[in-house]
Amino acid sequence: MPTTDRQTPDESELIQRLIAGDETSFRTVVRQYYPSMHAFARAIIGESLAEEVIQESWVSVIRALPDFEKRSSLKTWILRIVSNTAKNRLRKESRLVSFEDLGSAADDSNDDWFDTRGHWQASQAMNAWHHALPEDIIGSDQLRSQIQHTLSALPPQQQAAVVLRDMEGLGFEEICKILDVSESNVRVLLHRGRCRLRAVIDAYNRT
């Protein structure tokens, strides 16, 4: 379920302890947020640079923490910093255009599936999947590997939106803040990414 973007009282205390340099609190946040930061950084910049981006982001987080205005949850704020750090890194690598380009690569238009009235073509079968349950889909090593490969090959913005929404379970408001794009853009990105991933699962089920 998507999370809410509010600070809990515990989180306010945690932030104060982080500002005070409390080691136990550092360990808590690193344990808690590292997997999300890694998945998200990998989506934007790729596996090889994800670790560097995370370490750079932590430095920014600790330096900026006293100025954190608490208008979002700590997690959303941290992921926003990861997003900016990764984008800056992309800029240095001259690859930013690939992050900003919503229309690149996959799109969701499958116009050839439909007739002129927008109804399914007779030739377009829509058979039930034999791997239909999520546990069965991910339980198949070959299919899981194909999904992971396709996810990692999505354009960075699509991948980031899919990771934040479908893996991390964040709400649209949080995703917009993190990626700095409008909700309608997030919806387009998500749909395109999901269509690509559905197509992979569908192809596997047809073999």
Partner 1 sequence: MLSCKDVTHKSSDYIDNKLPLISRWQMRLHIFMCVRCAEYIRQMRATVASIGLLKDRNEPAQAVIDETVNNLLEISKKRS
Binding-site ranges for partner 1 (CB under 8 A): 21, 23, 26-27, 30-31, 34-35, 38-39, 55, 58-59, 62-63, 108, 110-111, 113-114, 117-120, 124, 126-129, 132-135, 137-138, 144, 147-148, 151, 162, 165-169, 172, 187, 190-191, 194, 197-198, 201-202
Torsion of CA 46, 49, 54, 59, to 10 degrees: -150
Tell me which H or E stretch contains 3: none
In the complex, the smallest distance separating the C-beta of residue 55 from partner 1, rounded to whole angstroms, is 7
Check if the beta carbon of residue 94 is closer than 8 Å to that of residue 115: no
Nearer to partner 1, 96 or 129 (CB): 129
11 or 166, CB closer to partner 1?
Answer: 166
Q: How far is the CB of 180 from partner 1 (least distance, A)?
A: 19
CB of 150 to partner 1, least distance (A): 10
Q: Kindly tell me the number of DSSP H helices and DSSP E strands found in the chain.
A: 10, 0
Residue 96 or 171 with smaller CB distance to partner 1 = 171
Question: In whole angstroms, how close is the CB of 83 to partner 1 at the nearest point?
Answer: 18
Measured in residues, the chain has a length of 207
Three-state DSSP class for 41? helix
Query: What span, in angstroms and rounded, lies between the C-alpha atoms of 153 and 147?
Result: 10
- What is Dmax (Cα atoms) for the chain? 67
Q: Which of 39, 106 has the CB closer to partner 1? A: 39
What are 126's two structure tokens? 């829509």
Closer residue to partner 1, CB minimum distance, 13 or 202: 202
